[in-house]
Amino acid sequence: MLELRNVFDNDGMHLEARRLYARLLLEHGRAQEAYGQYLRLVEQYPDLVDVRRQLAELAVDAGNWEEARRHGEAAIALDPEHPAHRALKALLDYQAARQAGDDVTAGEAAERARALLDDHPDLDVALRVLVDWHGSGPEPARALPHLERLLALHPDSLGLQMARVQMLFTLDRQDELGQQLHAMHAQFPENPEVVAMVIRWHLLRDDMAGAEAFLRMRAGADDADPERHLEVVELLRRSGGPAAAQAELERLAAANEATDRARIYALRAAQLRFDAGQRHPAMEAVADVVAHAQEDDLANEARISLARMYSAEGDVPAAQALVDDVLASDETNVEGLILRAAWQIRADAFGPAITDLRLALDQAPRRTDILRLLAEAQKMLGNIELAEQRLAQAVEISNSAPREALAYARFQIERGAHEAAMRVLTEALRTSGDLQVATLLAQTLLVTGDTVAAGDLLERLAQSGQPEAEKLARAMQAELLLRENRVDESLALVAAEAAQAEDGQGAAELSTEVQLLRILMSAGRFEQASDKLAQMREAFPEATFLRLLEANLKAIEGKNEEAVTIYRALLEDAPDEVIPVQRLHALLTELGRRDEAAETLAATLERHPEARSLRVLHALDLEHDGQAEAAIEIYQALYAEEPGDIVIANNLASMLSTHSDEAADLERAYMIAQRLNGSQVPAYLDTLGWVQLRKGEVDSAVLNLQAAARGLPRVASIAFNLALAYAEAGRTAEARAELARGFELAGDDQAVPQFARAQALRDELGG
């Protein structure tokens, strides 16, 4: 190969040298590099029919159908009667038909492939057609002989081995499946996916001993590479809990006494102890590893672990000092860069955070946690498209894993882009079956009113065989019926579930009873709901939350004083409960009894000064009462604690830009509001537009405020903001019209935000 590269230095167009070089790369399993060499050949010599065929077959292997079609059609045009090209034509026709859902045409292409095999039994592409055709049909076992023939032709093909695994799984040939997986491990011992499949096979058979024996075999002697021994530890943790893992780590540490291997195990053991609540002994053990580790990498790993522990204990300065030490000795340390970036994001230092995360991504380009943090930083800066790209990249790298799909979907839902969220959730559910994904998808479908897709999801969940998924399906079906105003059918469905609840399953029975009550309340059947609630309180006297439901019901019925009485009684019995305070505060505020609401809130806040939900209510009260500085102070503290809370970010940016003329405050409001770019939520667009107007970005402000006014046409403050933007843009007639609409909505309520500014503008415009 070295000699061939020398040929290229002298003659880059040498046909036979490049053909041989590509073939050697292919024989060494370097298919991607071989593809590049073959591609260069056809660029230089477009009519090389064998190279076109090779490129098409490599593209088929890679699943790149666009390239497979491009080179396959070129090969067919050059020599249409060649058996391999007729097989390629059958494959391309078959793939197009399958994609179009045309089983008749697909079957015809499969028949052509079968006929070719009569005379050419080793025709690779024709075999692939029949493997897929039979494998996806009613008799998948018919695909197996063709797959076996392909494996005989390509014994080193991991893809074909995986296909055989899937086939044996489909046919439920468990013993053969186990043999296949262990043979694959012998052939591909370093492939993590194969290792994971072997373990999963043992676990699905409840063969924990077999899984442990397999991993111990891989791990070797006690003084061998710790990485594989840690796989055994993780299995023991999953099967026997932290104590079993701890015992194995201590055994391995003793077997490797006074070495860095022992310290690696001591570090993992300390992390387990920390998670179990033995925090100070764990931190002392990690500090000991830092002090005595011989290898810098291990010392830095221990520093990172200790930094996380300090951070969890609330001592962020100590944690940051440790991370600074790590990055001083290794400026590309991935974990150190991630930790520092996370702190920078919390401190609104988004530029430095992005720099650190990009450097970390250079070292670990497939780390989805880095991509998620990058997305968060870009979102905070208002780079919504970049944030979306990073989250989409994480979804792609993880093959739509639940965590990444949920992060992407929540990002889209937050912006009001429900269609994008549903697409990624649907794919994630298809590949993982994860219940969290299913739940969010169900909620999103119901919110958007897509009853057809919701029905499809419901059927899939109902047939999954998972009890929790079936429970979600029943709840979803009841909700669908209720939304279609089929109240009695919805009630009957939930009642049937309640009737089937077995003895001793009180929690499950109560859950279905609560769902029945919710349906009655949603349907406005208050008398039936009241009767149902009385029955529930008698059947479940210990369920104190039923009193909360009773108060809610009274409030919905308009029996406000009775609701207030129940809420107050709940607070007397359980003064530390937050939810009754929230409900009582909301009801009293709605009734115009704001002083009582404030007193109730203040009393609970005195006992729970850190309760986030109550502090938000307090800030809103202060905002309503015109105490802007006090409200801003609370929002600042809430934002510092959770910079990712978009509601708090919106409120803080709005308050700063509305109630302050300080350049620093306006700059901060502008920075915070950038994350609202691209949102479809009218309230967020209102804040973004107003901040842009204060910063002189008039055209952008008008567009965002117009969208906000269309989304919330009955909010006077948004009308006032839009009028101010029109005036700034020189659109006087529109400003007058919007002002008139705003004052009509506001009436005489001068507490409406921007009322004074709107009055001043009206005087200025003479309207």
Residues 6+ apart with CB under 8 A from 21: 1, 4, 5, 8, 37
Give CA torsion, residues 438, 439, 444, 445, to 10 deg.
Answer: 60
User: What is the C-alpha separation between 308 and 557, in angstroms, rounded?
Assistant: 51
Phi/psi-derived region of residue 574, left when phi > 0, alpha when psi is between -120 and 50, beta in every other case: beta
Residues 6+ apart with CB under 8 A from 361: 367, 370, 371, 374
The pLDDT value given to residue 192: 87
User: What is the C-alpha separation between 40 and 124, in angstroms, rounded?
Assistant: 24
Given a contact cutoff of 8 angstroms between Cβ atoms, the answer to whether 331 and 315 are in contact is no
The pLDDT value given to residue 486: 58
Given a contact cutoff of 8 angstroms between Cβ atoms, the answer to whether 341 and 360 are in contact is yes
Q: Which fold has domain 650-765?
A: 1.25.40
H helical segments located in 101-157: 103-119, 124-135, 144-153
Single-letter code of the amino acid located at 399: N
What share of residues in the chain are helix, strand, coil (percent, to 5)?
Answer: 80, 0, 20
**CATH 1.25.40.10 domain range(s) in the chain:** 2-170, 650-765
The pLDDT value given to residue 503: 44
Name residues of the chain where pLDDT drops below 70: 461-467, 469-513, 515-517, 519, 767
Given a contact cutoff of 8 angstroms between Cβ atoms, the answer to whether 77 and 89 are in contact is no
User: What is the C-alpha separation between 481 and 479, in angstroms, rounded?
Assistant: 5
The backbone torsions φ and ψ at residue 766, rounded to the nearest 5 degrees and listed phi first, read 75, 25
Quote the tokens at residue 640: 């510092």
Residues 6+ apart with CB under 8 A from 93: 105, 108, 109, 112
Quote the tokens at residue 388: 């979306």
Right CATH for 2-170 from 3.40.50.2300, 3.40.50.1110, 2.40.160.40, 1.25.40.10: 1.25.40.10
The backbone torsions φ and ψ at residue 223, rounded to the nearest 5 degrees and listed phi first, read -95, 15
Helix (H) or strand (E) holding 294: none
Residues 6+ apart with CB under 8 A from 346: 640, 643
Whose CA is closest to 767, among 720, 729, 742, 735? 735
